[in-house]
Structure 1
């Protein structure tokens, strides 16, 4: 049996929340992500064409909320400096300093969403990075 060759249509990473309405407000109001699919207890937000994040009520999802979150959502933006200025004004939880990683060619910063998922916002510092 051969693997299907048709291109993928959509990518969704799911995060699990105890307080889904608070998570929704953060992703809509702070990050400005549009709601793409509303499944009731699961809200799927568009990050960019083809990439989405799903916020799931942990009482109904396939997985449960966990205190330790060994996952990071990374969003690449045209101007990390503009986003960093905005993040500082929003007083985001656990906001890092703006940093450069020359090895992988990025400028970035991180912060936590309302239930502790880490979000990295970055821009490339060189073509192809």
Structure 2
């Protein structure tokens, strides 16, 4: 019998590794270079994914972040997470992402797939979910 949770976690870890792998061998300039008209860059995508990990696998299950990254604001919709600011080093951003992933892994290990969660920013009537 297949352990579905293990399969899903392995898939998630593969996607995380692929994202971080996109930064390998790139200069700081290319990590930070805006790739869209909105200014999104690769480090910004890593920042965004750290927030997703902490939000969806943390807050949604009452398991709050180990840390409060520099870009977390009181208003989660300020969109400051899609690019790296000059004062945020690559090492800082990737470190936060790795910490967020470890936090998510702990949530996944501790909960069952049918454990209930609540995503506050989803539409009313559709906020309830499971791991």
* TM-score, scaled to structure 2: 0.30
Higher strand share: 1
Q: Greater helix percent: which structure?
A: 2
Which structure has more relative contact order (CA 8 Å, sep 6+)? It is: 2
TM (normalized to structure 1)?
0.30
